[in-house]
């Protein structure tokens, strides 16, 4: 499969170059050659926009090291968003004429010509978002750290927010700004928009343009738009309420502040599980229930065509609607007056089965290599790596070298494996030479 | 839905009667009225053939209490096996003419007349298996505990093994016989046969009969037979090897004995996750990796039409084959030269989604009600309750009353909810009034 192979090799090549750059003496603040495992881990974490770190980014790496890391994040995030969007187009082309028309309608341009347009449009969107982020963050960091350092902080954190990468130059991530709405709101917006994906933002843009120009026709939103926005919204709200309820009495996180501030903390914790990886509370101090909820939300993750990870909101929604259909005694799975094709259901199953097997294997292996670490911390770190979230209970820096290698592989599989599964049906469509008779079977 | 409602009410009625009986003073060895939560927990655990216990069965309950418990196990196990088998028949009738023919071929009888036959056949099978178990176990327990107590021990443990219920009159379950093959082998056989289900055993019986009578035609095994046997075998072998590998250096479980004995322990640990719930090692002393592997194996559980729980081997296999299909770029899911119908795929998704949501909710709730308990022990106990396994790290007796209530609900949902999901498509098949156009969507 050409598509899969180029995706795989592309990621590997960027990680290799990144590792070499981060190993150089000018990349570390100590001026010494970097530890190869630290370099490999950081490069993988950056290219997969995970944000897990074995060393404190702000003090361990020199300015050059931080710049390389930021470039790797940018390449990783942009590459994933682009690959993901093109796969949607290719899938559309292969599967459904109707869908193809819908996409081309929204792009106003037919055929292959659209691809260059889309690439340009994605780059433009990224630039607009990141520059807006820099302009909003600059005054805050300028006031606290002066212009030079403030600018670098704004650039670094804006790019990391839009790409859902989660590296921070502050050792405590955003805990120092945990109640400061002028930072919490724009960072949340960048994370959510980056995670909801290019196709959704593009449709939103078209809708707004048409409304402003008072076009006579009504915009038809795609199924992807409806599912991604409604599921993201639902997860954000449910997450906020659940975190509030669970952590309400934990003095180490929410317990000692007033209700308004608790709401801000719960909201940001809910947002960051859309695989951003920044944190405004100490994750290591959360209750067990809070950690487990975070694990579940991280596993679902962001929406396709964006920079976030996880099995994706749409995947979860397809499976939820399958369940709903079976409970209602229907054999057709529907979503917003659309029939869900069987190929999509199979793909959703493939993504979840592949993800579950990867997480279970990585968790068991890490429990073997690091037997003294508390189980939920291992489970948390594995899901965080797999869904390219980057939240950490603090064990990543201290686990054994084997444990770190397991996390490296998990991050790579979580990012590239999911793309490959998406691309799976793009290969030569096999002719259905044999069609076997159906036979029933008990399940459950 | 008549079928679902009668299943649900049937289980509730038996649990209610059981709770009342177990509350009576003559049911406890102290001769006092029983604690209602203990009675409710034990009755639910018995009817759902789970085997989780809040008190030591052998000392806390009087002979009468133990007898009631055994009767509840027998009713629960037989009821589940029968309901499950009839659902397979009904499903066969509704969905597939071919399947209907296959089932009727194997029963040699058409139409409704088959039902009474099947019920009789299930009862006969249960009697044969349990009596065989008693006869094999009696000499062992007779030698160690005398005839009277030995007979009761043999009856109690044989019925609990065949029904995959896992209650033991020994406080340490089978640890005292952990290397004793004359006990380990027949108990393993009862557990595996009880868990593999009536339809499989019946087909096995027909095949043997035909071979003995030298019938000219070749028996055609059903898809259910092939999937249940091959998946069960694969899980048993993989489980044994994995437990051996993981627990090899743990002095509290396998570490200090020779390789032959390690193999026996690993084998029994693998067998018991087919939801029997007996244990021959101290579960609370297993490594984290071993506990997590046990959780994964318990969640998959046994085969349909048997006494075991979990999402079932066939469900796991349907989803695995969906994943295989999508990786091979196919849109048809095949199994042993049979096409898997979409209704079956939806049902498998429904079972897994429902199970996962139940386990996650119960785990989060129990982490809130019992925050001081180690997370993996809560997760383990919840999955053990849900998949009606009955293995315990030892926390069930000590968790709060709310925690016990959560486990009670989890056991009930794990047993009845799965049956209801199976029965879901049996309701009035809704006419497909509207069929919406298909639209694609990105997943993963
Ligand atoms: K991230
Ligand atoms: K059991």
- Per-residue pLDDT band for A433 (boundaries 50, 70, 90) equals low
Nearest-angstrom CA–CA distance, A241 and A266? 7
Q: Count other Cβ atoms within 10 Å, centred on residue A308.
A: 33
- Look at residue B442 and tell me whether its pLDDT is greater than 70: no
Nearest-angstrom CA–CA distance, B443 and B241? 35
* Residues of chain A contacting B347 with CB distance shorter than 8 Å: 326, 443-444
- Look at residue B113 and tell me whether its pLDDT is greater than 60: no
* Residue among B350, B368, B440 minimizing CB distance to A289: B368
**Predicted pLDDT of residue B102:** 47
pLDDT digits over A27-58, tens only? 898 888 888 999 999 999 999 999 899 998 98
* Residues of chain B contacting A106 with CB distance shorter than 8 Å: none
Are A316 and A351 within 8 A, CB to CB?
A: no
A172 CA → ligand 1 middle, Å: 16
Nearest-angstrom CA–CA distance, B381 and B408? 11
**Predicted pLDDT of residue A440:** 59
pLDDT digits over A221-257, tens only? 888 889 999 999 999 999 999 999 998 888 888 888 8
* Residue among B315, B353, B379 minimizing CB distance to A319: B353
B418 CA → ligand 1 middle, Å: 36
Pick the ligand that lies closest to the CA of residue A163.
1
* Residue among A341, A374, A379 minimizing CB distance to B438: A341
CA dihedral A287, A316, B429, B117 (to 10 degrees): -60
CA dihedral B336, B338, B343, B349 (to 10 degrees): 20
**Contact at CB, B312 and A444, closer than 8 angstroms:** yes
* Residues of chain A contacting B374 with CB distance shorter than 8 Å: 374-375
CA distance, residue B36 to nearest chain A CA (Å): 28
Residue A28, classed as helix, strand or coil, is strand
**Predicted pLDDT of residue B444:** 56
- Look at residue A113 and tell me whether its pLDDT is greater than 70: no
- Per-residue pLDDT band for B1 (boundaries 50, 70, 90) equals low
Q: What is the mean pLDDT of chain B?
A: 85
CA distance, residue B132 to nearest chain A CA (Å): 28
B245 to chain A: nearest residue by CA?
Answer: A368
**Contact at CB, B442 and A305, closer than 8 angstroms:** yes
Pairing of strands B338-339, A334-335: unpaired
* Residue among B88, B439, B443 minimizing CB distance to A442: B88
How would you class A214 by CB atoms within 10 Å of its CB: exposed for 0-12, middle for 13-18, buried for 19 or more? Answer: exposed
Q: What is the mean pLDDT of residues A297-319?
A: 90
* Residues of chain A contacting B441 with CB distance shorter than 8 Å: 223-224, 227, 314, 318, 335, 340, 344
- Look at residue A104 and tell me whether its pLDDT is greater than 60: no
* Residues of chain B contacting A331 with CB distance shorter than 8 Å: 342-343, 346, 425
Place of tokens 């691809």: A115
Place of tokens 């078209």: A206
**Predicted pLDDT of residue B127:** 92
Helix then strand count (H, E) for chain A reads: 17, 2
Helix then strand count (H, E) for chain B reads: 17, 2
Which helix (H) or strand (E) segment holds residue B338: the answer is strand B338-339
**Predicted pLDDT of residue B435:** 59
- Which range scores top for mean pLDDT: A91-95, A189-193, A335-339? A189-193
**Contact at CB, B440 and A339, closer than 8 angstroms:** no
The alpha carbon dihedral of A85, A87, A91, A94 has a sign of positive
The alpha carbon dihedral of A144, A149, A151, A154 has a sign of negative
* Residues of chain A contacting B99 with CB distance shorter than 8 Å: 439-440
Residue percentage of chain A with pLDDT more than 70: 87
**Rg, Å, chain B Cα set:** 22
Any idea how long chain A is?
444
**Predicted pLDDT of residue A424:** 61
pLDDT digits over B341-365, tens only? 888 888 889 999 999 999 999 999 9
**Contact at CB, B350 and A323, closer than 8 angstroms:** yes
Question: For residue A335, what are the β-bridge partners?
Answer: A338
**Predicted pLDDT of residue B270:** 94
**Contact at CB, B443 and A315, closer than 8 angstroms:** yes
- The lowest-confidence range among A301-315, B82-96, B120-134, B268-282 is B82-96
- The lowest-confidence range among A32-46, A164-178, A427-441, B388-402 is A427-441
Structure tokens of A269?
């914790």
Structure tokens of B70?
């055994």
Q: What is the mean pLDDT of residues B377-394?
A: 93
DSSP state of B440: -
Q: What is the mean pLDDT of residues B86-106?
A: 53
**Contact at CB, A421 and B327, closer than 8 angstroms:** yes
Q: Count other Cβ atoms within 10 Å, centred on residue A138.
A: 17
B300 CA → ligand 2 middle, Å: 13
pLDDT digits over A7-30, tens only? 788 889 999 999 999 999 998 988
- Look at residue A101 and tell me whether its pLDDT is greater than 50: no
CA distance, residue B207 to nearest chain A CA (Å): 20
Are B31 and B25 within 8 A, CB to CB?
A: yes
Q: Count other Cβ atoms within 10 Å, centred on residue A26.
A: 11
Question: For residue B338, what are the β-bridge partners?
Answer: B335
Are B158 and B133 within 8 A, CB to CB?
A: yes
| Cβ–Cβ pairs < 8 A, chains A and B | 292
* Residue among B88, B314, B338 minimizing CB distance to A438: B338
- Per-residue pLDDT band for B422 (boundaries 50, 70, 90) equals low
pLDDT digits over B45-60, tens only? 999 999 899 988 888 9
**Predicted pLDDT of residue A347:** 86
- Per-residue pLDDT band for A397 (boundaries 50, 70, 90) equals confident
**Contact at CB, A349 and B322, closer than 8 angstroms:** yes
pLDDT digits over B251-287, tens only? 888 888 888 889 999 999 999 998 888 988 999 899 9
**Contact at CB, B339 and A425, closer than 8 angstroms:** no
Residue percentage of chain B with pLDDT more than 90: 50
Q: What is the mean pLDDT of residues A159-164?
A: 92
Q: What is the mean pLDDT of chain A?
A: 85
- Look at residue B100 and tell me whether its pLDDT is greater than 50: no
Residue percentage of chain B with pLDDT more than 70: 87
The residues, ordered by sequence, that sit 6+ positions from A162 with a Cβ below 8 Å of its Cβ are: A77, A126, A129, A130, A133, A190, A191, A193, A194, A307
- Look at residue A213 and tell me whether its pLDDT is greater than 90: no
């Amino acid at each position: 499969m050409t598509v899969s192979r180029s995706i795989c090799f592309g990621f590997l090549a960027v990680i290799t170059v990144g590792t070499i750059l981060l190993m150089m003496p000018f990349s570390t603040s100590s001026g010494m050659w970097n530890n190869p495992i630290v370099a490999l881990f950081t490069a993988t974490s950056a290219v997969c926009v995970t944000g897990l770190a074995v060393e404190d980014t702000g003090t361990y790496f020199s300015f050059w090291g931080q710049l390389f890391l930021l470039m790797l994040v940018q390449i990783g995030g942009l590459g994933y968003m682009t690959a993901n969007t093109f796969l949607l187009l290719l899938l559309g082309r292969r599967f459904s004429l109707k869908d193809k028309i819908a996409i081309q309608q929204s792009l106003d341009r037919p055929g292959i010509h659209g691809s260059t347009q889309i690439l340009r449009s994605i780059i433009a969107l990224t630039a607009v978002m990141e520059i807006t982020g820099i302009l909003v963050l600059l005054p805050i960091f300028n006031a606290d750290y002066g212009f030079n350092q403030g600018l670098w902080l704004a650039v670094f954190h804006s790019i990391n927010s839009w790409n859902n990468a989660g590296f921070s130059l502050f050792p405590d991530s955003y805990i120092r700004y945990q109640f400061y709405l002028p930072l919490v709101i724009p960072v949340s917006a960048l994370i959510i928009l980056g995670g909801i994906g290019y196709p959704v933002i593009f449709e939103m843009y078209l809708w707004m343009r048409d409304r402003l120009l008072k076009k006579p026709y009504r915009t038809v939103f795609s199924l992807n738009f409806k599912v991604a926005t409604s599921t993201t919204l639902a997860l954000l709200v449910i997450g906020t309420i659940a975190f509030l309820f669970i952590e309400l009495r934990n003095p180490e996180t929410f317990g000692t502040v007033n209700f308004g501030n608790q709401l801000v903390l719960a909201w940001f914790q809910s947002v960051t599980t859309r695989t951003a990886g920044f944190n405004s509370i100490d994750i290591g101090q959360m209750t067990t229930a809070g950690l487990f909820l975070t694990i579940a939300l991280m596993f679902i993750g962001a929406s396709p065509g964006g920079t976030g990870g996880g099995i994706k909101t749409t995947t979860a929604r397809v499976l939820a609607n399958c369940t709903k259909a079976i409970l209602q005694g229907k054999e057709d799975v529907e979503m917003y007056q659309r029939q869900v094709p069987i190929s999509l259901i199979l793909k959703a199953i493939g993504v979840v089965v592949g993800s579950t097997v990867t997480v279970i294997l990585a968790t068991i292996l890490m429990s073997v290599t690091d037997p003294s670490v508390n189980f939920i911390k291992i489970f948390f770190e594995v899901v965080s790596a797999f869904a390219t979230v980057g939240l950490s209970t603090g064990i990543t820096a201290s686990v054994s070298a084997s444990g770190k290698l397991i996390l490296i592989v998990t991050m790579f599989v979580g990012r590239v494996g999911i793309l490959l599964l998406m691309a799976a049906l793009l290969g030569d469509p096999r002719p259905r030479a044999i069609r076997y008779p159906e036979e029933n079977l008990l399940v459950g």
